Structure 1
Amino acid sequence: MSPADAPATGPAGPERRRGTTHGRPPVRTAGQARAHLADLLGRLEGDFGRLLADAQLAVTELVVNAHRHGGGLTGFGARLDLERGCLVVDVEDGDERHPVGEPLDRRDPTAAGGRGWALVQILASTCHIDALPQGGKRIRVTFSLGRATAGRRSPSAGAET
């Protein structure tokens, strides 16, 4: 089973759908999602600057698109999967439609917008979309931690937040 296919651990039900994260206020905005990822990756030793920048850009696109096209953000979760060496991020919204977009090399470079989903697919190691039982969808993206996963700064680094 790939990391993206693995079931998310942690809270289920209404609290998760509302974007609640352990010990932090619910994630409702792209800025809150970026801060959450910075906090999560900050628990590890190593240089994760590039990974953080890529993950924050991809998650910004997903959260903004959830608000713009998906009826709003209905869930957010992020966790470090140290066994598989990846950051796993779930973004949920109320729309069952999947994101669409042409690959960047086939887009008109002067066209406004429409690049977000293509960027997410380039930046993330994996992208999976699943329908939710209550309606809507979950987009799960993973980002490889690479070789800098040897040490932890916090004993809770592998926990979902």
Structure 2
Amino acid sequence: MPHDDARPPSPEAAVPGERPSAPVRTAGQARAVLARLLESAGHPGGRVLADAQLAVTELVANALHHGGGLTCFDARLGPGGTELVVDVEDGDDRPPVAQPLHDRDPATAGGRGWAIVQALAATCRVDPLPAGGKRIRVTFAL
């Protein structure tokens, strides 16, 4: 769940029926949380799971590499179970840098993550956190 700003942040994965949850520290753990959540909701996964897992891999990797570390991870179904909602928080105030995929040299590594996330998710939102850092919320239609 998104962290309460009154307590130290921890990257806890919120999956219904699995609280208290183990902290998410890697992209692989975040991908596993998404798979368990959709499976527990009776959703077949497929393209939605693949897209969400790729986007979450990029978000978690960026939090670890550019954002000073992952401070919170949350995945849940939205109202009515019609969307997957994922929050990734880190300690850096700077928003992700949007670089169009077509402007990138294919021989150059990196720089595509945020564009990939924006291409895969139904919605993307970046919000500053009161104690510093940011929350990136992405949704995927189910």
**TM-score, length-scaled by structure 1:** 0.78
Question: 1:87 is matched with which residue: 84, 88, 106?
Answer: 84
Partner of 2:111, secondary structure, is coil
Q: Percent identity among equivalent residues? A: 62
Structure 1 position 20 matched with structure 2 position 20: no
Aligned mate of 1:43, from 40, 44, 51 = 40
CA distance in 1, matches of 2:35, 2:25: 16
What is the TM-score normalised by the length of structure 2? 0.88
Equivalent residue in structure 2 for 1:34, among 23, 31, 36 = 31
Structure 2 residue 126 is matched with structure 1 residue 129: yes
Change (3 A) 1:12 1:108: closer
Name the Cα RMSD after superposition: 1.6
**Cα distance in 1, alignment partners of residues 97 and 43 from structure 2:** 35
Aligned to 1:77: 74
Which AA in structure 2 matches 1:62? L
> For residues 14-36 of structure 1, what are the alpha-carbon distances to aligned partners after superposition, in whole Å with 9 as ceiling and x for unaligned?
37x30223232111111110110
Q: Which runs of 5+ in 1 are unaligned?
A: 1-9, 146-161
Number of residues of Structure 1 aligned to a counterpart in Structure 2: 135
Q: Secondary structure at the match of 1:140?
A: strand
- C-alpha deviation, 1:47, in angstroms: 2.6
What residue is the counterpart of 2:103 in the other structure? 106
What is residue 140 of structure 1 aligned with on the other side?
Answer: 137
Q: Which amino acid aligns with 1:80?
A: L
CA distance in 1, matches of 2:111, 2:94: 16
- Deviations 1:81-131, CA, capped at 9 Å, x for gaps: 142610000000000001113111222222211111110000100000000
Unaligned 5+ segments in structure 2 are 14-18
